[in-house]
Structure 1
Amino acid sequence: MSLSPSTFETIVPSRYITFTFPNHHHHHHHHLRVAVLDSPSAATAAASTAAIWVPPGRESDWIFSTFSGHLQLLLTQPLSRLILIGNSPSSPQPISYNSSLHPSSPTPLQRNLAPLLSALTPKSAFLDDGEIPEVPLLVFEDEVVKSSIVEICEGPCVGEMLIENVELENDGVKEFRRRLRFKRMPNFVQSQMRICPKNVTSFENLDNMKFELDRGVLVQPYLNPMVAGISVISRFLEGRTFRPKALCLGVGGGALLGFLRVQLNFEVVGVEEDEVVLEVAKRYFGLEDDELIHLFAEDGIEYVQNLAKNLSEECRFDAIMVDLDSSDVSVGACAPPTEFVRKSVLLAVRAILHEEGVVVTNTIPSSKLLYERLICEFREVFEELYEIDAGNGENFVLIATKSKVRNALEANEGAFLNKLKSVVSGSYIDSIRKIPRTADPAF
């Protein structure tokens, strides 16, 4: 089926077209894969078009080979059209990657893509004087130096998922991590844990390396701030004769659950809607279902509502940690889902808290307006609100208490608080900010 040149003259919201194009610069005349995606938002400026050159060797990565990955890339910029250009994938599924096997400098092909990019530019971008607009050709960059596919599997709720070992390099510092990614939102790392090579003399082939998990540190950007959020009730937890109890809504790889259990001596209940995700967490991320970690394959919102309906003292928690993200790919990375923010759900969450309990929620606001609405919804149900900026330009941690916490930010000593400060990296505890009822959140 051939494409008409006029196909690309107009922006059609969410239209996704892929095709192959002869690569005359390759001595075997391999084909290029071209993917063109128009923004879901009709309000986006019509002339804002850019292209990304897919990193050689990563053409099969879901980030570059799927609609959902392409959409996430587009939504990070105010673009009306994003064009991906790269070699045709060698495999229908992601494969292991080694950056040292691929050139990083611009190729003659990349320098001669102007005619193709011009043909894929919306007509509205052309000026009245006939001048041809220049479409910027961006180069995708991240910290991944190598990747090794551990397993690709599928869950009944989240769909296809990928477990991979990656070698990262940042400012010359090398680190290895195990990651969990979902195909429905592949650019977003659902879970990750630091891993340490065992008895290795060469780091060339990641596929052949053996690793052990490092469960003593949290590497997911927002998890340290989430744990730091518990500090607002540290006075209540000091001197307790019984073990504190936490409910984690959203398990992923289980790094947060294991950290609360091992480092802070919590009894933890973890709720994850997809049973396959729980199996992955146990098999590849060291999550244990034992006398202090209890796992349930259920919808987190329904679990909370059912507990609230059949409330007993054993069902109350000191901390509820909410790490739920929206499954709506069209809005990009967004947390928590709108279903969680319904007043009936927040009231159920409040009901299963101890009187001095705290709710700590990872938020990825898609806009300042939506974050302000989130604050308003929580404010109607909870007594006090606090926040932590995770510092990555994406995540804010919202902290809500069931009752007034006297001098919550002034506590500076105590066994629990001292332990918390020793295991939470950075200055997140000191950066907690109370959100006054008359002030805007720091977004």
Structure 2
Amino acid sequence: MELLPRRPGEFGSARYWDRFFRQRGSCPFEWYGAFPELCPLLRKYLRPRDKVLVVGCGNSELSEQMYDTGMCEDIVNIDISDPVIRQMRERSGSRRPRMSYLLMDMLQMDFPDAHFQVVLDKGTLDAVLTDEEEATLAKVDRMFAEISRVLQVGGRYLCISLAQAHVLKKAVEYFSQQGWVVRIHQMAGSGDKQQFVLPVFVYVMTKFRKIPGSAPQILEICSEEQEKPMRVESAEQLVGAVKDRQHYALLCSQLSKTPCREQVSLDLCDKESGRPRYTLHVVDSPSVKPSRENHFAIFIIPQGRETEWLFGTEEGRRQLATSAGFGRLVTVALHREQHYEGMAGIQAELSGKVMELAPQGLPARQQVPFLSVGGDIGVRAVRHRDSSSLSGDFVVEDVKGDGSCYFRRLIFLHNRNVVQSEARLLAPVPLLGQKKRRKDKKKPSPTEPPTAIDKSYLCCEHHKAMVAGLCLLGNPEALPGTPLEVLVVGLGGGSLPLFVHEYFSQAHVAVVEIDPSMLEVATRWFGFSQSERMQVHISDGLDYVAKLAAEAPAKFDAVMFDVDSKDLTVGMSCPPPAFVEKPFLEKVKIILKPQGVFVLNLVCRDSQLKESVLGTLREVFPLLYTRRIEGEVNEILFCQPSPEVQQEPRELGARARALEGALRRPGRPWDSSYVLADMVQAVSIL
């Protein structure tokens, strides 16, 4: 501890380093990065004939090892500490005649302009740039100016650093503004977790003549496993990319020491594009007693199944890890629009990386099992990608489910693990990556919609519950043929209004959708169509309901809200908060018939906010039923303006069975997994 300075500023003091090296003695002091780890990178940027300047050389063995391996011999080492320069002269002596050690301040060097091809700095910048005080920054500017002066055009400044944010930002901004090419390399770790948890980086600044005007900056980052650098657009992005890698290294260090109480999520990105390729979740199971065989496993989620409850929620993944019987399970989700070479290719690609997430106590050379469902990586094909000002980026994709079923999904990419809408394909088109047995020009191309959508299919449990709530209206046995006025706010892929339209033959369905892009998507990709009984109104649901309340009171038998919120900060993702404020709910009550029902899909993770919403609903609607969706956050609320029509849950079950019997007509398809009575028997009255 006595070797450490009393304050950071002493790192720039010759007196401090004189004392440091006297007390250190002849034992070499390596700031970070031993020669074996640095050697592959140094060989890329050093040529045997280069004249090399090492600033702040200390008593590091790096120059000696570069000389002895023949990497380069014309090396000049400088330092401000006289004891260390004398020590290094004695150590090299006549054994390295072309290498010299000079007592010199790098802020005011005696070398002529353009004297060197390479300036090498191992930790010196980190030692000088200890803070962002004005005097410190001025000293660094002088250091950079001197390095620039003594380097030839085309020369390289190689700076080995831990890349603290303020150090990296200063170096990148200075040299990029001078028109230099800036490239950051992350060094491969040595496995020595005791010395440095954070990875070591090498800044490679290549000198070019500054071009007048606004020449584009060339900024690149190259991870330890990358051959090809990745270009970034700004210094801020470059600093952010380094920060992400430091966070990952810190995370790996923490996970190797202690179990994680909360699930940890991280993305592994594609080497070429920089886009996320895998999303990993680390799940520890305290209830599992570790043995040699069950310390650690990797679970590959087949494409298209990452949205399922078991894989897409914290509770589901926790259950998966426990049932798998491993102390730590890492689930791996595969990103859309990435190409994967089968399960074996994924295992080979991930083997090295996932081992960095292994728990403490994993036996040496322990083979870690890769697990999955069904033995393959699944099938997923993006059919359509677009963006709207209201919904953001979204995709339409086809996936293969269990058995021979294929599904079409709408995904909003701001919430990529949630299926916004889903349809089952009756005649699925060939998915990308599947070989056709024979050429057939009559078959649709992979970019065309399917020949048919299964209109009997409701993908969401909350949609099933919402339809089941219609049993609260009139005689359930006659309901499918009874004239009904239904308002649905929120279109998505259109499966909910499409089902009501198909199975309630006399129903007139009005759909309100704020985003015109969704009407186009539903029509082109999900089999939705308008008719005399089905009309879509492109409007804000708030405005449309307010207009109806003024013009057409008591118009609707049923009003259904299934509209998501774009604001993810309020703890309620469905509906937007304005849809459950009392003045608006009173307008909803106005447009309902006295015996009608208002059905609301509520998704709220904030318990206090949820209680507030329920309290407001009770103030407006005298009769309120609730149905929780098992395994999901969704809660379906059935609200009626008249308390006289209250039904007990047992009576609701009988009404639902009668309604299902009337809907299941001969010759009309029906999803056998859909039991209306199950949807309402679990309701409770608030």
TM-score, length of structure 1 as denominator length = 0.70
Give the secondary structure class of the aligned counterpart of 1:407.
coil
**Using a 3 Å threshold, how does the CA distance of structure 1 residues 362 and 420 change in structure 2: closer, same or farther?**
farther
Question: Quick check: 1:271–1:296 contact (8 Å CA) kept in 2?
Answer: yes
Give the secondary structure class of the aligned counterpart of 1:348.
helix
User: Corresponding residue for 2:519?
Assistant: 278
Question: Quick check: 1:253–1:277 contact (8 Å CA) kept in 2?
Answer: yes
Superposed CA offset, 1:369-395 (max 9, x none): 443333222111112111223323332
**Using a 3 Å threshold, how does the CA distance of structure 1 residues 401 and 86 change in structure 2: closer, same or farther?**
closer
Q: Which of these residues, 337, 340, 344, is aligned with residue 576 of structure 2? A: 337
The 1-side partners of 2:160 and 2:584 are apart by 51
Superposed CA offset, 1:70-101 (max 9, x none): xxx999489xxxx99999x9xxxx5265x662
Superposed CA offset, 1:194-228 (max 9, x none): 01336879982599557321112212332111111
Tell me the CA shift for residue 258 of structure 1.
Answer: 0.9
Q: How many residues end up aligned between the 2 structures?
A: 385
Q: Which of these residues, 216, 224, 247, is aligned with residue 22 of structure 1? A: 224
- Give the partner amino acid of 1:23: E
- Give the partner amino acid of 1:50: V
The 1-side partners of 2:457 and 2:517 are apart by 25
Correspondences of 1:172-321 after superposition (within 5 Å): 173-197=403-427, 204-205=434-435, 211=450, 212-235=452-475, 238=478, 243-265=483-505, 266-312=507-553, 316-321=555-560
- Give the partner amino acid of 2:385: I
Give the secondary structure class of the aligned counterpart of 2:514.
coil
The 1-side partners of 2:421 and 2:516 are apart by 16
**Using a 3 Å threshold, how does the CA distance of structure 1 residues 191 and 436 change in structure 2: closer, same or farther?**
closer
User: Corresponding residue for 2:7?
Assistant: none
Correspondences of 1:67-216 after superposition (within 5 Å): 76=314, 94-95=336-337, 101-103=342-344, 106-107=347-348, 110-111=351-352, 145-169=378-402, 173-197=403-427, 204-205=434-435, 211=450, 212-216=452-456
The 2-side partners of 1:376 and 1:84 are apart by 39
Question: Quick check: 2:512–2:537 contact (8 Å CA) kept in 1?
Answer: yes
Provide structure 2 residue ranges, at least 5 long, that are not aligned to the other structure: 1-158, 166-196, 199-220, 231-240, 251-259, 281-305, 318-329, 363-367, 437-443
Give the secondary structure class of the aligned counterpart of 2:522.
helix
Tell me the CA shift for residue 364 of structure 1.
Answer: 1.8
Q: Which of these residues, 647, 662, 682, is aligned with residue 419 of structure 1? A: 662
User: Corresponding residue for 1:374?
Assistant: 613
- Give the partner amino acid of 1:308: A
User: Corresponding residue for 2:440?
Assistant: none
Q: Which of these residues, 294, 304, 322, is aligned with residue 561 of structure 2? A: 322
User: Corresponding residue for 2:62?
Assistant: none
Question: Quick check: 1:96–1:147 contact (8 Å CA) kept in 2?
Answer: no
Greater mean alpha carbon deviation, residues 106-115 or residues 374-383: 106-115
Correspondences of 1:360-439 after superposition (within 5 Å): 360-404=599-643, 405-407=645-647, 409=649, 410=651, 412=654, 416=659, 418-420=661-663, 425-432=673-680, 433-437=682-686
Question: Quick check: 1:247–1:317 contact (8 Å CA) kept in 2?
Answer: yes
Tell me the CA shift for residue 112 of structure 1.
Answer: 5.3
Q: Which has more helix, going by share of residues?
A: 2
The 2-side partners of 1:22 and 1:341 are apart by 51
The 1-side partners of 2:268 and 2:584 are apart by 42
Question: Quick check: 2:598–2:640 contact (8 Å CA) kept in 1?
Answer: yes
Percent identical among aligned pairs is 22
Question: Quick check: 1:56–1:102 contact (8 Å CA) kept in 2?
Answer: no
Greater mean alpha carbon deviation, residues 406-415 or residues 384-393: 406-415
- Give the partner amino acid of 1:260: V
CA RMSD of aligned residues (A): 4.9
User: Corresponding residue for 2:325?
Assistant: none
- Greater RCO, CA 8 A, separation 6+: 1
TM-score, length of structure 2 as denominator length = 0.47
Greater mean alpha carbon deviation, residues 140-149 or residues 294-303: 140-149
The 1-side partners of 2:559 and 2:278 are apart by 32
Provide structure 1 residue ranges, at least 5 long, that are not aligned to the other structure: 11-18, 39-45, 119-130, 438-443
Tell me the CA shift for residue 320 of structure 1.
Answer: 0.8
- Structure with the greater alpha carbon radius of gyration: 2
Question: Quick check: 1:421–1:429 contact (8 Å CA) kept in 2?
Answer: no
Correspondences of 1:344-355 after superposition (within 5 Å): 344-355=583-594
Question: Quick check: 1:233–1:408 contact (8 Å CA) kept in 2?
Answer: no
